[in-house]
Chains A and B, each alone.
Chain A
């Protein structure tokens, strides 16, 4: 019988009612009295020198409040990068200044050239058309290898080249890895592209800056996954506003997927302009702007090699990747191809030697940063594609080859610096084999063939590092922040509870799941517990939501704070019952003295905490509120095995997904319904990457896929129902809930399964195809069949 409340139950989401009735409170729904509107004039060329910007005609237009250019921001800081990567020679990465508004030079299409603040948005747009730009266009640098070639046009005058860093990991292993390749019985190599994607949360970004002359305080309303991080980055590094004078509010946020982690120029602009104009200033991104200004994802070009011995054991992996940074370093851009990618190259396998080389490159394109999975999808894709190719070359079953090389002993220290605490990869694969009905595949393939279609089955495994992250470790690796989280459990006099959490919910359902945990720990009804999130003015601190960290890191802080509350409440209960607090037990919201029938209710104790007439004031303070910060001891390591079955139309190359099965090990689970939903969504995005999505620039740096007319988002009829199973559970060993996180798994685990399936389908018809780059559009699949 499934539980109906508490940890492991699936209560309906409480946030749904407001979303289903139109009562959500998204940033664009907020309007502040007297607000002005900003329209950004964005560059339509990728690379140019700015000779002159003439705003005089625009300034005379109706309703214009003020027009800003790069000159107005010359004295404030640049938009910062939060991670300093050290290259293979021990030198820091090259880090260009990232101005709020382009100054002197334009470096990508969509970069802000001027900002018009006006009484209405239409007036701002009209006036922007009257701004005259005098530009000298420069050659655009778009292709990464060309960007690194001798004599390439340099994007940033202050840097020595277009190379951000040349990173080797683990550099000391390089010679041993090369030797293992020299001695290998078999080497499989594969060149592939992990194409650039656009995250595309359905809510585009919005920012509203506000400034109070009476208190000298700023407020920024923004679509963020981590308001405290924005407060720190914008306050300390860009505008020089101390934290106590700056409040950042991120109310209901319509999806993030990574792209709302980062601090953006528009946020700094609206905050700065609110003071300069003495009015609130609002910006609502159009979708077209989002394509040109939201940090994009992926964009790796890789050669991977896998060495095997004569018994088909993996002996070494060597990779060579070019990672596109775009024109500037977005907040966490530098960490994605390095510490979120290189450290995952062991996958689920006991490969003793690994060397990863990554060259991060500046180009005249929109900046690239973390997108759902961030580095881990890129690692998984390479590894699982090359293993599939190796299995074909060796004539062995791809699942058997994986199983033969699975890590089976835990904890397991990989050769790429991380230690997996727990897992059961055979157990998860067993679940997949049952879920995906591999036994019935031959019959399904025969049916497809009868209908003139090619059917393929693709499988892959993944591992990811979640619960980001141990601060001491990431500090050694170059992070400029700690990655703990915080929670405050505020118990009110009548026993209801507000939990102020640093995690931010923008679809993940924290408002439902977090109370499940607290209510279970105390034994009270979940309706007595609410969480508060998304406002630096209401919550003490927090590092936000990304890297599948909310329950593993912030949830752990919440557990610790609740434990402190319970410890204090037991002291109060002990005083009321004239017993020793060591003898007090809490169950179902009742404190009892062990071995007696004496008890007091939760509400009696909480009331006593605030009405301390009979209270141990000499030992403890009145009130019942506790805060905990939690810094994880390690990453968590969710893992899974996925299977995809496709049908390919041999006439057109069109691929349709017929079955998709996902077996995941997320450790313990708070709310199975929500976990299913997270996996579904990740798979949907992964299928989008595999078949549809592609962010394309032409040779001049023009963004060709800048709307939903050109960028193919997965639609309801592009995907099937998914079969998901998370009953394979090896709890995390180092956090109090034993949880691992589930937000990114689907997006990491699904693309290689789809590609492996399409290759299998084509080979079933005798096509000698070893790889097709994503997205596997009908044109690409048809071309692969008709070389």
Chain B
């Protein structure tokens, strides 16, 4: 066992890890930040996406030890301290961009990274960017719509309803 220390959602966090401990395990098991989900074991589903030093990262594909000294942001750190949702989270609720909620933390973290780099992405850019995040409930329609809305685009004309 060894010690790892990082900044998670603005607070210093440290804990004992094995060499094989994944960042996702450290967040969930040691820090009890269970909003980060694990939906597969091959780095395909994206439910575990967090930000490490400003980059979207699949936390199941990174060892906790590699995050030594890093700045990590998870879904738990996205809302304001009073609990109010940020623009992207609010757009997911407004446009019914989630159903069972399991992929949602990864979707929100991926979308946040996209909008940071590309503040007004096209539909095609959003769909391409999200190809590393699987959702089984929504057929992606309302997720894409929510991200377009969060970026200030008019979504009223998208398909019916």
Contact = CB atoms under 8 A, between A and B. Distances in A.
B35 A24 contact: yes
Contact of B35 (A21, A202, A717, A722): A21
Interface residues of B, number: 61
Given A26-B37, A287-B45, A716-B130, A12 B139 contact: no
Interface string A497-525: 00000000011110000000000000000
Interface in B94-137: 94, 96, 98-105, 108, 123-124, 126-128, 130-131, 133-137
The residue among A288, A507, A721 with the most chain B CB atoms within 10 A of its own CB is A721
B34 A22 contact: yes
A288 B41 contact: yes
Contacts of B140: 680, 684, 714-716, 719
A22 B75 contact: yes
A685 B100 CA distance: 15
Nearest to A10: B96
A38 to B, nearest CB: 16
A722 B108 CA distance: 22
Interface string B15-43: 00010100000001000011111111110
Nearest to B76: A22
Nearest to A200: B136
B139 A204 contact: no
Contacts of B40: 287, 707-708
Given A22-B35, A681-B136, A506 B141 contact: no
A723 B159 contact: yes
Given A20-B93, A26-B102, A255-B99, A681 B139 contact: yes
A716 B28 CA distance: 27
Interface in B67-91: 74-76, 78-79, 83, 85, 89
Contacts of B76: 21-23
B79 A21 contact: yes
Given A20-B98, A255-B102, A435 B78 contact: no
A618 interface: no
A746 interface: yes
Contacts of B105: 19, 22
A71 interface: no
Contacts of B75: 20-22
Given A29-B34, A682-B139, A719-B140, A674 B100 contact: no
Nearest to A725: B160
B43 to A, nearest CB: 9
B101 A715 contact: no
A526 B161 CA distance: 23
A709 interface: yes
7 contacts: A13-B96, A17-B85, A18-B101, A252-B100, A255-B102, A716-B133, A717-B131
Given A202-B45, A746-B139, 11 more contacts: A12-B94, A20-B101, A20-B108, A21-B78, A21-B89, A26-B102, A255-B136, A257-B136, A286-B41, A507-B101, A677-B137
